[in-house]
Amino acid sequence: MTMATIRHEGLKAWIDETARLGQPDQVCWVDGTEEERSRLAKRAIARGFVIPLDQDRYPGCYYSRSNPNDVARTEHLTYICTRKREDAGPTNNWMSPEEGYAKAKEIIQGSMKGRTMYVIPFSMGPIGSPFSKIGVEITDSLYVVLNMLIMTRAGSKVLDHLGTDGSFTKCLHTRADLDVRRRLILHFPEDNAVVSTGSAYGGNALLGKKCLALRIASWQARQENWLAEHMLILGIEKDGKTDYVTAAFPSACGKTNLAMLIPPRGLKAKGYKIWTLGDDIAWLRVGRDGRLWACNPEAGFFGVAPGTNSKTNPNAIATIRKNTIFTNVLLGDDLSVWWEDGEGEPPASGTSWDGKPWTPGLRDADGKPVPGAHPNSRFTAPASQCPSIAPNWEDPQGVPISAIIFGGRRERLAPLVFEALDWAHGVYAGATVSSERTAAAVGKVGEVRRDPMAMLPFCGYNMGDYFGHWLQMGGRMSCPPKIFHVNWFRKDENRQFLWPGYGENLRVIEWILARCHGKGKAARTPIGFVPAKGALDLAGLNLPEGAMDKLLEVKAEDWAAELDGVKVFFDQFGAALPKELWRQYDALKDRLKTKVPA
Ligand code: GTP
Ligand code: SPV
Ligand code: MN
């Protein structure tokens, strides 16, 4: 592909303009062929951007280490640039488009000198599906190109589909000098454009992912009456019938793990088969049948490495055996990779994520263990390599959703599972999700913050309007999914997890689906329905005495105290917060005051 063969004038003009600004040595169109990918990988190795792993043990796999100051999303440098400040809302950083473009221009000017500027046409969603959106990423990072080739459907076939005047999201990325002072992740939803500078980390630099598929897409979804969500998609097959659910958990709170779960031994006899359709993002549309249909816009997984092993997530381990890029894990001197709570023994010696010599058991001056992998180290692998990938994962129509599951990481308060009373109450439950911060973004790990629908960092417009959009979507469906809330992370007084999690989570999903089919016994609490005694199948689990009671406990006084935090959170939206959410708040307050008979 060359500039001369491009028939889309708007695209051509943008490429020309960007090349004049960035001043790369050359412009290279990515056509998406295997021959090209292998050539680019060789080039990335020659330039030192990636290191090939031991090809016998890890065929087609590469290692990459990013700048130690650039290993997680930087929410404080992420902006929504709209003409009106209130359109970004109180939970987003805002900049005017003029200021955004001016700041970006200053950084991009000449930043690609001595480099190649790659142009990657890509489709989020199967090419040609009614769900799909096209983007074009310009980048001066070969690491980004290699990742985008895994995470999206990229290359000339996308251009063919775009035609001479199709619309696309302009995604402009320069790594510049990787200095945080020149790091900005800017979104211009009114122009269908993203500009990202000074970072080469995943969500900051792979612009199809959080920037296009969530921030820009959520803006478009509101206008076009659909939903762009931070959700996994999972299929549960039993007796020849498959139910599909989506689940929204904040970053590093278990989406990849749930999406690939293996039925626990105790439930094996029931003949469950679990299908993976997506692990991070779902686009949802109302079907002609009045149900909600979901599609995964991505083509790969950009998953958290630490904690991934063949006990917790065997499907992930099988997925990353070949053709995978490992970022910021430990690199063994024998060209192996390893991470904390990973597979097998660590190598005898290696280099840690921040480029320092590392040996097993290494401790710092204070005697604290020095991790080999960064807690947010990741693997990038093709979804097609996942043993549990659903045969219909690329169906252009998507799959019909029976349940939407919200969740967070809470040591206390939230029970293992509860079912919302109806759609509006479910939206309230989603809007008030709170969770302990993880290493996926720069910030204080463990601090509890509100993360509505797991979208706090990803909603591309005023979250008050977003809640309104969710509420009205309920009215567009004759058969809306039921809404649930789960918490795999509740702890006992010794701060040990009460629930074993991972594959065992199917026991909770089983109850959720039973509820969707009008079965499954439940007890009503002020916050919603929880499983009645004996309603969860716990065969073979051997939980300690009383653990289940603690897991399902709903303490009215704790929930009443939580309401103060909800009020502070809601208040900041002013008039943009739908009145319905205040009605839900008041109704919950009342229910918490009323003694409910058991
Ligand atoms: P992003 O890719 O950042 O959006 O995250 P994610 O939601 O896909 O998170 P992921 O599944 O990678 O899980 C992150 C961490 O949570 C890992 O360290 C897992 O081992 C851990 N985890 C996942 N599921 C469970 C569970 O059921 N129980 C417990 N205790 N930990 C879990
Ligand atoms: C997340 O942080 O939610 C991720 C990783 O899935 S990133 O692509 O960096 O956003
Ligand atoms: Mn994510």
The answer for residues whose C-beta is within 8 angstroms of residue 596's C-beta and 6 or more apart is 524, 525, 526
- Domain shared by 58 and 23, yes or no: no
Sign of CA dihedral 239, 244, 250, 251: positive
Grouping H, G, I as helix, E, B as strand and the rest as coil, residue 253 is coil
Q: Single out the residue of 480, 100, 511 nearest to residue 285, CA to CA.
A: 480
- Domain shared by 356 and 429, yes or no: no
The answer for residues whose C-beta is within 8 angstroms of residue 300's C-beta and 6 or more apart is 150, 151, 152, 380, 381, 382, 383
Evaluate whether residue 349 is within a structural domain: yes
Evaluate whether residue 44 is within a structural domain: no
Evaluate whether residue 309 is within a structural domain: yes
Ligand 2 centre and the CA of 141: distance in Å?
18
Ligand 3 centre and the CA of 589: distance in Å?
32
Q: Of 253, 295, 386, 516, which residue is the catalytic one?
A: 253
Residue nearest to atom 5 of ligand 2 (CA): 203
Question: Which CATH number is 344's domain given?
Answer: 2.170.8.10
- Domain shared by 259 and 400, yes or no: yes
- Domain shared by 508 and 534, yes or no: yes
Amino acid 596: pLDDT: 57
CB atoms closer than 10 angstroms to residue 15: 20
Question: Which CATH number is 251's domain given?
Answer: 3.90.228.20
- Domain shared by 497 and 525, yes or no: yes
pTM of the predicted model as reported, rounded to 2 decimal places? 0.97
317: domain range? 50-64+300-385
245 in Cβ contact with 221 (< 8 Å): no
CB atoms closer than 10 angstroms to residue 430: 23
Number of domains in the chain: 3
Grouping H, G, I as helix, E, B as strand and the rest as coil, residue 566 is helix
Evaluate whether residue 39 is within a structural domain: no
Q: Are strands 62-64 and 78-80 parallel, antiparallel or unpaired?
A: unpaired
Amino acid 130: pLDDT: 86
Sign of CA dihedral 47, 50, 51, 57: negative
Domain final residue, candidates 385, 416, 437: 385
Evaluate whether residue 199 is within a structural domain: yes
Evaluate whether residue 43 is within a structural domain: no
The secondary structure of 374-417 as a DSSP string is -TT-EEEEEGGG-TTB-TTTT-TT-EE-SEEEEE---SSSS-SE
Evaluate whether residue 457 is within a structural domain: yes
- Domain shared by 164 and 311, yes or no: no
What is the full per-residue pLDDT of the chain (598 aa) written as tens digits? Answer: 777 788 999 999 999 999 999 999 999 999 999 999 999 999 999 999 999 999 999 999 999 999 999 999 999 999 999 999 999 999 999 999 999 999 999 999 999 999 999 999 999 999 988 889 999 999 999 999 999 999 999 999 999 999 999 999 999 999 999 999 999 999 999 999 999 999 999 999 999 999 999 999 999 999 999 999 999 999 999 999 999 999 999 999 999 999 999 999 888 889 999 999 999 999 999 999 999 999 999 999 999 999 999 999 999 999 999 999 999 999 999 999 999 999 999 999 999 999 999 999 999 999 999 999 999 999 999 999 999 999 999 999 999 999 999 999 999 999 999 999 999 999 999 999 999 888 888 888 888 899 999 999 999 999 999 999 999 999 999 999 999 999 999 999 999 999 999 999 999 999 999 999 999 999 999 999 999 999 999 999 999 989 999 999 999 999 999 999 999 999 999 999 999 999 999 999 999 998 655 4
Beta strands (DSSP E) in 299-386 are 300-304, 325-327, 330-332, 337-338, 350-351, 357-358, 378-382
Grouping H, G, I as helix, E, B as strand and the rest as coil, residue 544 is coil
- Quick one: tokens of 274? 């679990």
- Domain shared by 283 and 318, yes or no: no
Question: Which CATH number is 173's domain given?
Answer: 3.40.449.10
- Quick one: tokens of 348? 């005898």
CA gap 559, 588 in Å, rounded: 9
- Domain shared by 376 and 418, yes or no: no
CB under 8 A, 24+ apart: contacts of 489-492 = 489/253, 489/408, 489/409, 489/410, 489/411, 489/436, 490/410, 490/411, 490/412, 490/414, 490/415, 490/416, 490/550, 490/551, 491/411, 491/412, 492/547, 492/550
- Quick one: tokens of 61? 């796999």
Looking at ligand 2, which atom is closest to the CA of residue 440? 2
- Domain shared by 240 and 372, yes or no: no
Ligand 2 centre and the CA of 203: distance in Å?
5
Q: Is 73 in the pocket of ligand 2 (CB under 6 A)?
A: yes
Grouping H, G, I as helix, E, B as strand and the rest as coil, residue 473 is helix
Domain final residue, candidates 224, 247, 273: 224
276 in Cβ contact with 393 (< 8 Å): yes
Q: Is 143 in the pocket of ligand 2 (CB under 6 A)?
A: no
CA angle (37 as vertex; 278, 125 as ends), nearest 5: 30
Amino acid 266: pLDDT: 84
CA gap 137, 195 in Å, rounded: 10
- Quick one: tokens of 364? 């710092």
Q: Is 210 in the pocket of ligand 2 (CB under 6 A)?
A: yes
pLDDT in tens, 234-288: 999 999 999 999 999 999 999 999 999 999 988 888 999 999 999 999 999 999 9
- Quick one: tokens of 267? 């439930």
- Write the DSSP symbol of residue 543: P
- The number of C-alpha atoms within 13 Å of 247 and in the hemisphere containing its C-beta is 32
Residue type, 54: D
Q: Single out the residue of 464, 393, 461, 426 nearest to residue 92, CA to CA.
A: 461
Evaluate whether residue 37 is within a structural domain: no
Beta strands (DSSP E) in 184-299 are 184-188, 193-197, 227-229, 232-238, 241-248, 273-278, 282-286, 292-295
CA angle (23 as vertex; 20, 27 as ends), nearest 5: 90
Grouping H, G, I as helix, E, B as strand and the rest as coil, residue 66 is coil
Looking at ligand 2, which atom is closest to the CA of residue 255? 6
- Domain shared by 488 and 564, yes or no: yes
- Quick one: tokens of 495? 């701060």
Amino acid 595: pLDDT: 66
Q: Which ligand is nearest to the CA of 408?
A: 1
Q: Single out the residue of 159, 152, 182 nearest to residue 12, CA to CA.
A: 159
- The number of C-alpha atoms within 13 Å of 141 and in the hemisphere containing its C-beta is 28
Domain final residue, candidates 343, 360, 385: 385
- Domain shared by 376 and 402, yes or no: no
- Quick one: tokens of 484? 């649930």
- Domain shared by 373 and 399, yes or no: no
Residue nearest to atom 32 of ligand 1 (CA): 254
Ligand 2 centre and the CA of 440: distance in Å?
6
- Quick one: tokens of 517? 């089919």
Lining ligand 1 with CB less than 6 A are: 249, 251-257, 279-280, 303-304, 306-307, 312, 440, 488-489, 497, 501-502, 505
Catalytic status, residue 28: no
